Structure 1
Amino acid sequence: MSEVAPGLITVFGGTGFIGSQVVQALARRGWRIRIACRRPDRAWKLQTAGTVGQIQAMRCDAADPAQAAEAIHGADAVINLIGILYETPGRKFEALHVGVSRTIAEACAVAGARLVQMSALGANPESDSTYSRTKAAAEMAVREVKPDAIIVRPSVVFGPGDDFLNTFAKMAQTAPVLPLIGGGQTKFQPVYVGDVAAAIATAIGDTASDGQTYELGGPAVMTFEDILKLVARETYREPGFAPLPFPVAKAIGALAQITAVVGIKPVLTEDQVVLLQSDNVVSDGAAGLADLGIEPTGIEAVAGSYLWRYRKGGQFAAEKAAA
């Protein structure tokens, strides 16, 4: 193990769900953090994660090579967390996953900065999913110019503010039936956002991680049906569960994605249905959380701490029922 003394680190995508947790993990380890983002005003809440002056935000369009290079100038290390889960007219998988990743990697190579690249479990250049295919292409683009880059591939990530359990919990509030897409037997290995952040902060703090690829999954493999039933339990709801064939789900996703054109997050997209046709679990023998000294957090230990808001009686629904 070759520990790195914390210096200046640039985090692209540091204001998002995972990014905010990564910034906090880095701050605890003593890094000085520069958050490069399109909207610096969204980073104000992270100022309290460190000491005075430890965390600063700067405006940056990472698609612009000059702006990316400016954001990286003087940094010892860089973390690229930029990514999208669905496309909009102005934000495409190819541009944000592949183009931006290549731009950041090239700037890191020139600056001599170490790099962590966020990818996704199941990234596959031959996938039918555009999301999965461009995540794999981003990895290859980064490796071409930064062979020593650290690749991190998490499974679906859960935690307060996620678009995973929260989405299903909102559905359970109003829908009498939850859809088991493709029969609900697709396997996942949900990983806690705090563990993902700790893994990234640990990897960038150890040169032995350079050039490594880490697959991050939680302690349990769950089916899609298992996850929906967990959401129902934690929200004290009793919805029905009905199989939804993949072709029907794809048609619904294609229609739902139209909302993205007007800036509304789609409940489901056709590409996400394609992703659901393949299991999303850590590969046998892959380096992961254990190799970084992190014990994974179970989904049951965390889900109730933020899904309570979807209960009919709120946080104290169980106590009220008992009374």
Structure 2
Amino acid sequence: MKIFLAGGTGFVGGNLCEILAASGHEVRLLVHRRRDSKIAGVEQVEGDAADLESFAGGVSGCDAVINLIGIIREFPGKGMTFEKLHVEATRNLVAAAGMAGSRRYLQMSALGTRPQAVSFYHRTKWQAEELVRGSGLEWTIFRPSLIFGPGDAFVNMLADQIRKLPFVPVIGDGQYRMQPIAVQDVARCFAMALGMPQTIGKSFELCGADRLTYLEMIDTIAKVLGRSSPVKMKNPLLLMKLATALLQQFPLYPVTMDQIQMLTEESICDGSWRETFGFEPVRFSEGIASYLKVR
């Protein structure tokens, strides 16, 4: 298949490009600016997903469109907003697929996405999903939990704190749970879905095999690093919300209200995606041991 891939220069996208190319697919990658690629069989098309005219012609001749575009935090001054990159980009990609006659469409969403979500992040992800569901295309939507793997932001951030600090800061009581899933497993599901008609018109919640509290995640990372369990400095949730409401406007402040909301409302699922895709996900401790360096 010839596949048009948006958001393919990011964390998940890099892994997906490699899997698609290795499987014999032709990949046409949407980029803001062309750069050298180490992956054979990847063609680059310059454009901006927020500007339909800039890339629509690049979808011509493609059998499928995959949208991985997403941000976890807004930076309005740089033009990075949830509305623009979740909703408008999806609207444009759906339109471009329709114009080009590309029937197959895969969309990256997020676990916890729902119409009445508290976080604006999840609400805009839901708006994007609705555009996909109403597109008339042969769509599949994936909603992953926290994604880990080489170069990830979250696990590497915690590992860095464990290495450098005498304690690890925790928002609230740390008892909220996550089911982290390996980046290669997420990419594998996307690639497999292209050849699985039974995934058309369905949404899949992707989560790993390990359901861990935030505190347990910290201890697991510490163990992999060969460190003892660190001191957890718990910050009262109400106090964190008050401070964040005032300070999140500053880019250097590390968290936003949306991020606190999504963290504390948990990110877990029943794992039923495995019945369709037929493989077991990488275990969290084994997965992070493959890229976290013991120092």
**One-letter amino acid of the counterpart of residue 101, structure 1:** T
Q: Which residue matches 2:69? A: 82
CA distance in 1, matches of 2:19, 2:195: 11
Contact persistence 2:180–2:208 (CA under 8 A)? yes
How far residue 209 of structure 1 moved from its aligned partner, in angstroms, is: 1.6
How far residue 304 of structure 1 moved from its aligned partner, in angstroms, is: 1.7
Contact persistence 2:98–2:137 (CA under 8 A)? no
Within the candidate set 79, 96, 107, 1:107 is matched to 96
Contact persistence 2:19–2:188 (CA under 8 A)? yes
Contact persistence 2:180–2:207 (CA under 8 A)? yes
Gaps of 5+ in 1: 1-6, 315-323
Paired residues in the alignment total: 291
Q: Which residue matches 1:291? A: 276
Gaps of 5+ in 2: none
SS at match of 1:306: coil
Match runs of 1:89-100 below 5 Å: 89=76, 90-100=79-89
CA distance in 2, matches of 1:252, 1:228: 23
Contact persistence 1:68–1:103 (CA under 8 A)? no
How far residue 108 of structure 1 moved from its aligned partner, in angstroms, is: 1.1
> How large is the Cα RMSD of the aligned pairs?
1.8
Contact persistence 1:217–1:289 (CA under 8 A)? no
CA distance in 2, matches of 1:124, 1:143: 14
CA distance in 2, matches of 1:133, 1:293: 30
Contact persistence 1:34–1:56 (CA under 8 A)? yes
More helix by share: 1
| TM, length-normalised to structure 2 | 0.92
How far residue 237 of structure 1 moved from its aligned partner, in angstroms, is: 3.6
CA distance in 2, matches of 1:190, 1:296: 10
CA distance in 1, matches of 2:227, 2:272: 38
Deviations 1:273-292 (A, max 9, x none): 0112212111x4x7513311
SS at match of 2:138: coil
How far residue 117 of structure 1 moved from its aligned partner, in angstroms, is: 0.4
**One-letter amino acid of the counterpart of residue 270, structure 1:** M
Match runs of 1:296-307 below 5 Å: 296-307=281-292
Q: Which residue matches 2:267? A: 280
SS at match of 2:292: helix
**One-letter amino acid of the counterpart of residue 277, structure 2:** L
Q: Which residue matches 1:61? A: 48
| TM, length-normalised to structure 1 | 0.85
SS at match of 1:180: strand
Q: Which residue matches 2:213? A: 223
How far residue 254 of structure 1 moved from its aligned partner, in angstroms, is: 4.3
Among all aligned residue pairs of Structure 1 and Structure 2, give the percentage whose two residues are the same amino acid: 37
